[in-house]
Structure 1
């Protein structure tokens, strides 16, 4: 059994990231069959982890694009243009949004019942936060920072930590904690674009 890990047309681009080709009809060589099979599985495991990392990166890119489209659709710049131009911008953004939503990527994380409940609670907190942005961006920003403080060992000294959110996030898997932290970081960057930086 031969494993062709680096064929002549191999590149590191996403387009050519195919799994190793396995030829089971070839000789086993000097290694014992079990050792050869384990070597193949080791390589496949590395590729699976790389696939998961790439998929998470694509998920984050999609979230970033959706956030940008949302900020455009609610931009104050829309108040400075005519209704006709505003309609053009809105239709353009909606068309891109529809295309973006045709892309579905997901990395499933194994969770027990308590971890599922904890993640559901965390998502509920963040969804409520997102819904409150357009009502009072300053308050929403302050709350977002307290959520972020719950996810880091070096919290922002200028704001506190939401203990309820902290309790929920600690019940999540490590993968979920990392995703939530990145999601909150994206929200804080969104607030920065809105020039919402202080709570009064």
Structure 2
């Protein structure tokens, strides 16, 4: 059985190691700038740090989802079913332990939304969750549906059709949510590919 290694992207190795956070030097009497200008400049620098932190947290969230997807693909491979009962139990316990450890990691990035954007995101998540529910019963249909959702996220349609209901709901979401949804769908498509590869291996 071959499982593709996950290209985990290390998050900038550390949080701002070579660029310390700015401080206000209230004793600096030689700065010709007005106090407000000095404060605004410092806030601009801090804002860039905040955005970098959000980006790194988003990458960690994506890495976690990819790990969960890979663990799930291994747990569902046909090869496990061919093992002797004792070996199968050992493998399943090992996989469950890794899964449990991965689930102890929680990354939460809050996005400000108005009520309409909250409802739009709820609709999008409902559609994606419905897709996930039918993976085991009809993987081919689920993959085709996932592609139609993915096409709704892009102006360039790669394959198949675009799901207009999903597209309408997605357009009501915030830009951050749209990016996150696209990454989630890409992760699902990668999962389908891994699932197919693992199933096809003799």
Partner residue, 2:188: 187
1:102-141: CA deviations, max 9, x gaps? 1111111111111101101100111111111111111111
Matches within 5 A, 1:103-142: 103-142=105-144
In 1, the alpha carbon distance for the partners of 2:53 and 2:16 equals 12
Q: CA deviation at 1:35?
A: 2.0
Does the CA contact (< 8 Å) of 1:118 and 1:172 recur in 2? yes
The 1-side partners of 2:30 and 2:136 are apart by 66
C-alpha RMSD of matched pairs (Å)? 1.8
Partner SS state of residue 69, structure 2:
helix
Contact 1:19 1:47 in 2 (8 A): no
Higher relative contact order (CA 8 A, sep 6+): 2
2:172 corresponds to which residue? 171
Q: What's the CA shift for 1:21?
A: 4.9
Q: 1:1-200 alignment to 2 at 5 Å?
A: 13-14=13-14, 17=17, 20-22=21-23, 24-30=25-31, 31-156=33-158, 158-195=159-196
Shift of 1:47: 0.1
- Contact 1:62–1:100 (CA under 8 A) maintained in structure 2: yes
TM-score (norm. length: structure 2) = 0.84
Give structure 1 stretches of 5+ with no counterpart: 1-11
Unaligned residue ranges in structure 2 (runs of 5+):
1-11, 198-202
User: Which structure 1 residue ranges, 4+ long, deviate > 4 Å from structure 2?
Assistant: 15-19
**For residues 26 and 131 of structure 1, what CA distance do their matches in structure 2 show?**
62
1:5 match: none
Q: Which whole-Å CA distance do the structure 1 matches of 2:16 and 2:172 have between them?
A: 38
Summarize the Cα distance change of 1:15–1:92 in structure 2 as closer, same or farther, 3 Å threshold: farther
The secondary structure found in structure 1 opposite 2:161 is: coil
How far apart are the structure 1 equivalents of 2:125 and 2:132?
Answer: 10
| 8 A Cα contact 1:19 1:44, kept in partner | no
